[in-house]
């Protein structure tokens, strides 16, 4: 995100400078979502009405106006998007530049003149808004860089968390898959604490292991991590090292570690959105490679291995279409598949001095029963 912002800032220095100069006269150049959509919608309407007032401008600018309408549709869905705002602003500026190439008829209707003035004003407001968006994005990124592991996310919640009671506490540590898991809806009468943060890698989880796991004094921690590392191109060995250190830390503080396999992914929904082609950035081979190491690591260390992968992968080794709406994040049905696997592992780990592997319901994967496929 930082690189994108810096590239935009460099390429549009004149726009940002203008925005900064004008911002001194504007109490709040950053528009809210509703005002942004209203202003962009009004601009597209004015582009059409003013074009009709200038002979030849309407057919000449039809393609440009159509592109602006398409950008507006995307902007409605993401009103605070700096790239979309820049795209729309560029199309508006191009349209205004084109309009200057066509002579105005005389006499020129005052209504049309007023609309052109309003259109120029809309351009100025969008320029100031865009400059403010860039500034806000840079400030946000700087704040994140000051806290790379996002320790702030749960800092306040941790201080308000009561000490463990009669029920053994279990911390669920992970990324967005854990973050989106409403544990209270799937596990009742349990002291299960969600400490997932969307987008995090194993390095970031390791960086907050003391605050978000050890300091909460759990009996066990269930770690689900690695899919974002794979997506970011982090070597498998780096993932293994970070998971190993988490295991060592948990063990050193009397916490039973449970390690979950990385979930399968799929491309079943890429027809709905090209971003849902998950296997391109999370190759199934890499996922299986980490899972194979993780299973062996848990066997050697006598830690619990929670095999979500075997429970969820379909016959082709992919995440079923009905268990995730984007090929990556489980939906309600996906979490219902995961929940008994997690609960079985937790109960067995807490009731036994030696953690054991959680065994998911028998199913077929890659055309073979799980037990046979796992022995390959």
Per-residue model confidence as pLDDT tens digits over 326-363: 999 999 999 999 999 999 999 999 997 644 444 444 44
Dihedral sign (CA 179, 183, 184, 185)? positive
* pLDDT above 70 coverage of the chain, percent: 85
pLDDT of 144 > 80? The answer is: no
pLDDT-derived band at 367, boundaries 50, 70, 90? very low
- DSSP tag of 78: -
Where along the chain do the CATH 3.40.50.1110 domains lie?
A: 166-374
Tokens at residue 268, please?
A: 């079943």
pLDDT-derived band at 133, boundaries 50, 70, 90? confident
Tokens at residue 227, please?
A: 């899919």
Phi-psi category of 361—alpha, beta or left, where left has phi over 0 and alpha has psi -120 to 50?
Answer: beta
Q: Within 10 A of 329 (CB to CB), how many other CB atoms are there?
A: 22
Q: Please state which architecture CATH assigns to domain 166-374.
A: 3-Layer(aba) Sandwich (3.40)
**Start-to-end Cα distance in the chain:** 41
Q: Within 10 A of 217 (CB to CB), how many other CB atoms are there?
A: 14
pLDDT value for 131? 86
Of the candidates 78, 229, 205, 94, the one whose C-alpha atom is nearest the C-alpha of residue 151 is: 205
Cα–Cα distance, 312 to 331 (Å, whole number): 12
Please state the rounded mean pLDDT for residues 24-33. 67
* pLDDT above 90 coverage of the chain, percent: 76
Please state the rounded mean pLDDT for residues 181-193. 96
- DSSP tag of 175: S
Contact present, 310 and 370 (Cβ < 8 Å) = yes
Provide the CA 213 distance to its chain's centre, in angstroms: 23
pLDDT of 3 > 60? The answer is: no
pTM: 0.60
Give the DSSP H/E element, type plus range, for residue 40.
helix 33-53
Maximum C-alpha span of the chain: 92
Tokens at residue 326, please?
A: 């984007």
Assess whether the previous peptide bond of 271 is cis (omega < 30° from 0): no
């Amino acid at each position: 995100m930082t690189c994108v912002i810096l590239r935009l800032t460099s390429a549009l220095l004149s726009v940002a400078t203008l925005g900064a100069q004008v911002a001194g006269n504007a109490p709040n150049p950053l528009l809210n979502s509703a005002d942004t959509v209203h202003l962009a919608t009004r601009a597209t309407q004015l582009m059409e009405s003013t074009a009709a007032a200038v002979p030849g401008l309407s057919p000449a600018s039809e393609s440009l106006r159509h592109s602006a309408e398409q950008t507006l549709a995307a902007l409605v869905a993401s009103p605070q998007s700096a790239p979309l705002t820049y795209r729309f602003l560029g199309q508006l500026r191009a349209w205004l530049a084109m309009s200057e190439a066509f002579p105005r008829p005389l006499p020129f209707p005052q209504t049309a003149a007023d609309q052109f003035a309003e259109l120029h004003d809309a351009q100025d407001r969008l320029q100031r808004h865009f400059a403010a968006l860039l500034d806000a994005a840079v400030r946000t990124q700087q704040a994140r860089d000051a806290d790379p592991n996002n320790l702030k996310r749960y800092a306040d919640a941790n201080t308000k968390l009561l000490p463990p009671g009669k029920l053994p506490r279990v911390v669920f540590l992970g990324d967005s898959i854990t973050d989106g898991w409403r544990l209270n809806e799937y596990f009742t009468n349990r002291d299960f604490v969600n400490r997932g943060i969307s987008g995090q890698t194993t390095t970031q989880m390791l960086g907050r292991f003391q605050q978000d796991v050890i300091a909460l004094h759990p009996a066990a921690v269930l770690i689900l991590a690695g899919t974002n590392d794979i997506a970011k191109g982090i070597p498998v060995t780096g993932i293994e090292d970070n998971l190993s250190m988490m295991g060592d830390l948990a063990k050193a503080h009397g916490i039973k570690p449970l390690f979950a396999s990385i979930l399968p992914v799929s491309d079943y929904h890429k027809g709905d959105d090209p971003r849902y082609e998950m296997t391109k950035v999370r190759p199934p081979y890499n996922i299986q490679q980490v899972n194979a190491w993780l299973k062996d690591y848990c066997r050697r260390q006598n830690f619990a291995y929670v095999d979500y992968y075997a429970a969820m992968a379909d016959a082709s080794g992919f995440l079923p279409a009905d268990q995730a709406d984007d090929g990556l994040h489980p939906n309600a049905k996906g979490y219902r598949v995961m929940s008994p696997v997690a609960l079985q592992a937790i109960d067995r780990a807490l009731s036994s001095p030696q953690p054991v592997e959680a065994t998911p319901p028998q199913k077929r994967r890659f055309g073979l029963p799980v037990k046979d496929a796992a022995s390959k």
